[in-house]
A and B are shown apart, each in its own frame.
Chain A
């Protein structure tokens, strides 16, 4: 019976893969394939769940295979099934099934019909990998897939400015969540000295014993999980991305941002619950954030004048309550709440266009001018202040902007002297020096030796910041991203257990994809296209193939699970010593910005309003 779990991963994967092969014009094939895939999944899920419940509902842990194995390091795929998985499985299959049936007609004649179903299936694959994952590594694969599919769906209308801008914005928040998981993986490695499975976390004594020795470490790991969960579930202070994600066709917004994607943060919390169950301070912290989110989001929902953003904030508020329920140990309540909230918001979003006729009709018969609300009973100064704060979404959007991206932009602009022509000299000099030092560590005074990884980590970080903020040269930016990886590799080389084969894992994908991306850019230039990073160019309009290949290159170079670099990143990080927190921080930052820089490049070159205006182009504000 356990074996059937594989089916739940394989099926969406096969569906997704086949959907790529179907020609664009074959609407019926595409939609049939999609709802057949999800339909089979739904029925098998129901069948499997009943069987599982009848057989006593024992937790299933299925260790699949190791992808990479070394001394006390084992990157393996692991699947897991319990009540939480079951709930998410049924909710997911049910809603995705409905949405695919719905979209079959709804998307008819839409330019991106195929793309839509590709992405829905990719999303569904990622979703299932996450909910079935038995360890953080497996979960992380799904996590990345989910992030990518979100980006692609928000930017579904890729020829307009706002969807692309918002897609990059949401991706950047997701990226923060990703790094939460990377850091949690690194720290866990040091806590457990192995790649622990979720199954083992159920062992109360084991967890207790480890946490007793390292309570600070335990809190930090839990905190990292929390960052990821909060980012994905749009909790405080990340809430403002959710309404901005409502850029795709309504049904996609309904399942992504109304229901499935946004509840994945809650899933992560429930999944890791056994780990932080014993940390009261952390639980208090989760409740605290949950309360803040619930209050802020409710107030924001009350002032929203657009239907979708109102639903988004209401959903966020309920997820805040779900976080609280999880933290106080009411997991069953939380699961029911997740299901109810997902169903309700999906429905509300799907019928959101009907709001116009419904409310206008209601108003026509029942209008009462100047209806009082509860807030009118507050002192005016309080009322107005809260109103304005709510309308401004509690400054959360500008907070993200000011605290994260503005400093980066400032840092990046200091490096104006770097150009595509001289960056290689500069890099060669640095890198060769570093390499020589790494091979002959003895020439460096012992006192300074500990700072070398930091130095190169820092250079790497600065390079990728420059790449992220570069406004002109595509080739410069792209080269800097590759150099960033090389610097990270170099920085790690100073550590003790340095192993060349790990570097090969890490850098193979980077180099290959780096080359691929470079070729794409060259190809575009050869065809007479102007490419730069100072605006959106929208070249996908004329060069959809190059765009797809370049996207793959971007994914590969930022450690998406399609090249060995994905495992390499994890491997490299595991080499960071427990006491090298600063180095871990530098590298984590590098990875965040690295992914951002490459996706930003993809967006700028290929997405957004087309630079050529011989065809219809929307206004920037629309």
Chain B
């Protein structure tokens, strides 16, 4: 536990603040991450207890919700009994009766905010309502990326300096009193001196700042993110969290001056008792202890279901040749598509891997003014790939233009184009179609453009990025990809690399719908790049020397799967051999059928679509959703994700997993030492774990850790959303994204021996933390014996309790057709 420092350490305080503030990037780079990353160094349940008591977050479902789940059979009675038997509890054991009858506590007051509430209770002044509106307005305008037409007159030296210049040269002021204005202009203050004026007791400074900034975590969070990574903004602004704090402190002094006159005593003087230090040890409350057990029981009900299914999976025999092979993204949304592709052509092979296909680079579309990162967030690529000869045209829409906001032009536009608006609105509502408002994943790259993939002359950009890869670099990447997914022999004539993206309209969180492994962008460029590499004759030669022999008849084809529309687009088909062209035509039909079936399966969750209509009609309606202005759920994204299977397809091919699983191909027989496993785990933990926990916490506390309902959201400066016009930025996921999600931790199942898994996961401390503290559960399945063991407190222990083998689905299509809720695991065929 961090103790509050008796004397104020500014750097420590700022560090502490940045640690606990949300770290969500601006909307264009929305990337899933563990919302409570600040507590990740603690054991999961311990961290949650702290988050709840210190910050007042809801980190579990309520007791009543768990009880209802139990009553509906969603929490298994046997599992609950087992959990109760094995509970580790210092005090008296909790009984089932207690769990079933306990009620939520009425009112819980978190530690955060208590110190600062003294203003209200003792001074009778509501500082927040005096300071927040103008503070948010200033920071919003300062950071604005292009909503305002007349920009904040900022300079390059930061927020305070820009404000000083404004105040110096203006006949009006943001401040109510002259004293603070003079103070700002003179610059004769430090964070400490301002705190001294307001708080008066140095030992309370840090806690005061925590209270103050956590009253508007959205704005403080974005400032902190930009402070750490100025590149997060397209239109650069210099700002530091400390400046923002200073501005707020100045405004508080101003409000106090205005209210009490020039002389008032600081906060500490009227405090009746010292508030509990924020980070003093937390003892879990009784409710929390109940919730822990419930949560474990809820998770194990599902885990058991899955594990008992996986346990009876086929033991992989000799490899056979395949009609085609298709590499998809690890993404849980591809889980069902793979099942359908295999159903269409049982002789094909499907694989899963992180959707950037191991090629990390920045991408610059033709005419693009910036570089876009298209690989997992933690990687900093050294390469740039440019798009040339693009013919995508971007139509303008006057509705978004600044002219409608002018006085005279506005007058002319309302009299003329205003009438076009109603016509267009009518058309878009009664016959939705693609418009300038919508986002289409297929526009990420022109399918007929060329890409600068190969670097022959060492060309670099001025920023020091290499344009394209050298042949060795290409070979490294291809080898790495193929070995990590275990595709090293038996190459089919066609190997597809299918990236994915998503199309939607009126969707501020659109970046969260695209491929997480491509930093929230569609994976089309990456797919084309890896296929170009795979088709390169010299690369193949070099690869052959390294022991992977791809026959010359084999060709790689890149593709993009649009997960909301369930459409697919293939790239560079002209390069196909005559024979492969014929084969591709067959496969194309398989893909299309599979996509239609996939759309139908997804539609079971959509109220507005009748799943029983003919498949193509359902598919048409699914597509229509993605261009309907009034549709807040173009797709359900990662909702319900809970699993990640790292292993051969044979583990999962016979299971109906209800689109709940990330699937990463991995063959332990080609990687006995776990060399490639490390790379996979390094990606799985932060990417899949991040997605899972963001969904988890957005679901349990949609108001504080999620963004609430998206219906009233208002776009603030293109960097975030808020409710209404004068609210704090909302971080996390909107309720429409998480409402069907069950908050369960991710269970990673790795097909390898426990020894190798244990050794591998310990190599990278950052990765190990996720498993060690159980923010992500991990379980090993022995490739031969199928024995399961679970990681707990440093060791893999054999898993003893398992439920019954899941039933065989007689007609899975019928089950899909009638069930709206989560569907339990089924076997697809009798074993």
Contact = CB atoms under 8 A, between A and B. Distances in A.
Contact of A620 (B215, B397, B508): B215
A302 B405 contact: yes
A223 to B, nearest CB: 26
Contact of A354 (B109, B128, B505): B505
B182 interface: no
Contacts of A527: none
A538 B728 CA distance: 21
Contacts, number: 337
A288 B629 CA distance: 40
Nearest to A317: B407
B632 interface: yes
B630 A102 contact: yes
Given A305-B717, A306-B147, A622 B153 contact: no
B425 A356 contact: no
B215 A344 contact: no
A365 B140 contact: no
B702 interface: yes
A348 interface: yes
B425 A248 contact: no
B235 A369 contact: yes
A492 to B, nearest CB: 38
A295 B408 CA distance: 11
A157 B169 contact: no
A353 B508 contact: yes
A360 to B, nearest CB: 5
Interface stretch (A206-214, A333-341, A592-600): A333-341
A612 B411 contact: no
B726 interface: yes
Given A385-B171, A613-B108, A353 B153 contact: no
A37 interface: no
A246 B726 CA distance: 10
Nearest to B438: A354
Contacts of A305: 137, 140-141, 143-144, 147-148, 716-717
Contacts of B718: 355-356, 359-360
B119 to A, nearest CB: 13
Interface string B693-722: 000000001111000111111111110001
A366 B165 CA distance: 29
A337 B722 CA distance: 31
A343 B415 CA distance: 10
Contact of A381 (B151, B170, B629, B730): B170
Contacts of B438: 354, 357
Contacts of A342: 418
B170 A301 contact: no
Give chain B's interface secondary structure class.
loop
A162 B436 CA distance: 33
A85 interface: no
A381 B168 CA distance: 9
Interface string B139-177: 011011111111111000000000001100111111000
Interface stretch (A224-232, A277-285, A387-395, A455-463): A387-395
Interface string B36-70: 00000000000000000000101000100000000
Interface residues of A, number: 107
Contact of B711 (A94, A106, A317): A106
A27 B607 CA distance: 11
Contact of B151 (A105, A107, A373): A373
Contacts of A361: 394
Interface string A94-118: 1100100111111111100000000
B425 A350 contact: yes
A318 B411 contact: yes
B116 to A, nearest CB: 12
B405 A162 contact: no
A339 B422 CA distance: 10
Given A340-B416, A387-B166, A103 B367 contact: no
Contact of A614 (B108, B367, B507, B608): B108
A617 B147 CA distance: 30
Contacts of A95: 422
A364 B414 contact: no
Given A246-B724, A305-B140, A367-B235, A321 B407 contact: yes
B725 to A, nearest CB: 4
B420 to A, nearest CB: 8
B410 interface: yes
A375 B109 CA distance: 49
Interface in B416-443: 416-419, 421-422, 424-426, 429-430, 436-439
Contact of A246 (B28, B128, B134, B725): B725
Nearest to A299: B150
Contact of B437 (A307, A351, A618): A351
A358 B400 contact: yes
A479 interface: no
A564 to B, nearest CB: 37
B712 A318 contact: no
A310 B718 CA distance: 13
Nearest to A380: B169
Contact of A613 (B107, B151, B215): B107
A440 interface: no
Contacts of A366: 369
Contact of A364 (B166, B369, B436, B507): B369
A614 B418 contact: no
A246 B153 CA distance: 27
Contacts of A104: 630
Nearest to A165: B129
Interface string B171-187: 11110000000000000
A94 to B, nearest CB: 7
A527 B134 CA distance: 41
Given A321-B411, A355-B715, A391-B137, A619 B400 contact: no
Choose among B144, B145, B703, B722 the residue with the greatest number of A CB atoms under 10 Å from its CB.
Answer: B703
Contact of A344 (B141, B413, B505): B413
B368 interface: yes
Given A318-B411, A366-B369, A346 B425 contact: yes
B153 A383 contact: yes
Given A353-B710, A359-B400, 15 more contacts: A162-B724, A244-B726, A249-B712, A294-B407, A298-B407, A305-B147, A337-B411, A341-B418, A352-B714, A355-B718, A385-B172, A387-B153, A614-B105, A616-B58, A622-B703
9 contacts: A98-B429, A105-B608, A105-B628, A307-B714, A343-B421, A350-B629, A353-B713, A360-B145, A381-B171
Interface of B: 27-28, 56, 58, 62, 104-109, 128, 132-134, 137-138, 140-141, 143-153, 165-166, 169-174, 215-218, 234-236, 365, 367-370, 372, 394, 397, 399-400, 404-407, 410-411, 413-419, 421-422, 424-426, 429-430, 436-439, 505-508, 510, 607-608, 628-633, 701-704, 708-718, 722-728, 730, 736, 739
Top 8 A-B pairs, shortest CB-CB distance:
A340-B418, A354-B437, A340-B414, A305-B144, A249-B711, A614-B104, A344-B418, A347-B421
